[in-house]
Structure 1
Amino acid sequence: MPRPRSLTDEQLVAAALSVIDRDGLPGLTMRAVARELGMATMGLYRYVADRQALEVLVVDHVFHTVDLALPAVNWADRIRILMERLRVAVAAHPAVVPLVLRHRQAAPGSLLLIETMLAALAEGGLTGTDRVVAQRTLIGHLLGFLQNEHYAALSGPGTVTMSELSPDRYPHLSGTATEARTLPPAEEFRRGLDIVLRGLGG
């Protein structure tokens, strides 16, 4: 099988994302990516050390698609805009969610994103360990939501099943699940983020 004379990170990521979008995360193997590129599997190791290194490239690409140029609005609104942009970037390739959780600190593209978030929190008056906890809480909200949206969505069978429970035995659960089925993912994310930001003084 012919091997490209040179291969860029962008080409590697595009091939990996094609595999992930088509076959899911379990389908991401060095062999599958090499096949996508029309090359021998061993030839791929000239460009990337192993699957983990390939995963980091994919996560780094996702982070780099997030526009960090934020409008001149108050700090809390800048956080809202940044978080929504990150949510949308990951949602473009839902199967990548576990990789974002696994490699978010190893991907260089996360550094400027985190710096942008910390700058907004600093403007909001958060310092020291308060800023540490605030930043990690915001990321925790985002990562938890992404897992819920793509692996346990409110529109999924779990919510449907709970909404059909006996209201006599489970009045709060069945009623809440019924309401949950009407809540769009974007609104769920925004309202949850609003709760977090109110707690931070935003």
Structure 2
Amino acid sequence: MPRPRSLSQDRIADAALAVLDRAGTDGLTMRAVAGELGTSPMALYRYVDDRGQLERWVVERVLSRVDLALPEGLPWAGRIELLLDRARAAVVTHPAVVPLVLTHRHAAPSSLRLIETMLAVLTEAGFTGTDRVVAQRALIGHLLGTLLLDHLGPLPGDGTETMAALPVDAFPHLAATAAHARQVAPADEFRLGLAALLRGLRPGSD
């Protein structure tokens, strides 16, 4: 199979994303990506060291699409909400990327730029020291946690249905909450949870 004249990092990452969208993480192999590019695995290895590097390139490609420009005049909480909503939207476009984001988020330059932008907003709002650490980790934790829960889907045996059917005399709150949870869309759960978290974050306690 002839070697393409040039393979850029973005082109290889786009091919890997196409494989992920079609076959999931189990299907992400050097052979599959090479086939997507119309080349051989050996030719691909001239550009990529191993699958780990390929995964990092994929995460970088996805997160590089997050617009970090924020409108002036918007309150700090609104800017954080907009930033994390953009990050979520970029990742959910490729659901199979979620586990890779969790694994390689600290190795992707665009991930670091996203966090730097968040920290700049928090700093401008008056968060310093421990306050800033806790706020940043709580916000990233909410983003990653909701992405992971959405990616994993329902519990085996449809856990929400099982919990909703629990006897109300023994589990009144759990049964009622599980029943209502079936009506909450993932995007709404992310947005409302983030709003609640932001209401609770206040600078100045450090």
The alignment's TM-score, normalised by the length of structure 2, stands at: 0.93
User: Which residue of 2 is the match for residue 29 of structure 1?
Assistant: 29
User: Which residue of 1 is the match for residue 106 of structure 2?
Assistant: 105
Q: Within 2, Cα distance between the matches of 1:141 and 1:189?
A: 8
Deviation at 1:45, TM superposition (A): 0.8
Number of equivalenced pairs? 201
2:41 pairs with 1:41: yes
Matched-pair contact (CA < 8 Å) for 2:19–2:28: yes
Q: CA RMSD in A?
A: 1.6
Q: Within 1, Cα distance between the matches of 2:173 and 2:115?
A: 38
Q: Within 1, Cα distance between the matches of 2:107 and 2:22?
A: 25
Q: How does 1:86-165 map to 2 (within 5 A)?
A: 86-153=87-154, 157-165=158-166
> Once the two structures are superposed, what CA deviation does each residue of 1:53-95 show, in whole Å capped at 9, x if it has no partner?
0100010111110011111201110000000000110000011
Matched-pair contact (CA < 8 Å) for 2:122–2:132: yes
Matched-pair contact (CA < 8 Å) for 2:167–2:175: yes
Moved >2 Å (runs of 4+): 164-170
Q: Within 2, Cα distance between the matches of 1:117 and 1:164?
A: 41
> Once the two structures are superposed, what CA deviation does each residue of 1:125-178 show, in whole Å capped at 9, x if it has no partner?
100121112111111111101011121359x92212221222233222111101
Structure 2: where are the runs of 5+ without partners? none
> Once the two structures are superposed, what CA deviation does each residue of 1:96-145 show, in whole Å capped at 9, x if it has no partner?
00100000000011122111100110122100121112111111111101
Which amino acid is the alignment partner of residue 130 of structure 2?
T
User: Which residue of 2 is the match for residue 171 of structure 1?
Assistant: 172
The alignment's TM-score, normalised by the length of structure 1, stands at: 0.94
Matched-pair contact (CA < 8 Å) for 2:55–2:100: yes
Q: How does 1:77-92 map to 2 (within 5 A)?
A: 77-92=78-93
Q: Within 2, Cα distance between the matches of 1:140 and 1:5?
A: 42
Q: Within 1, Cα distance between the matches of 2:67 and 2:15?
A: 23
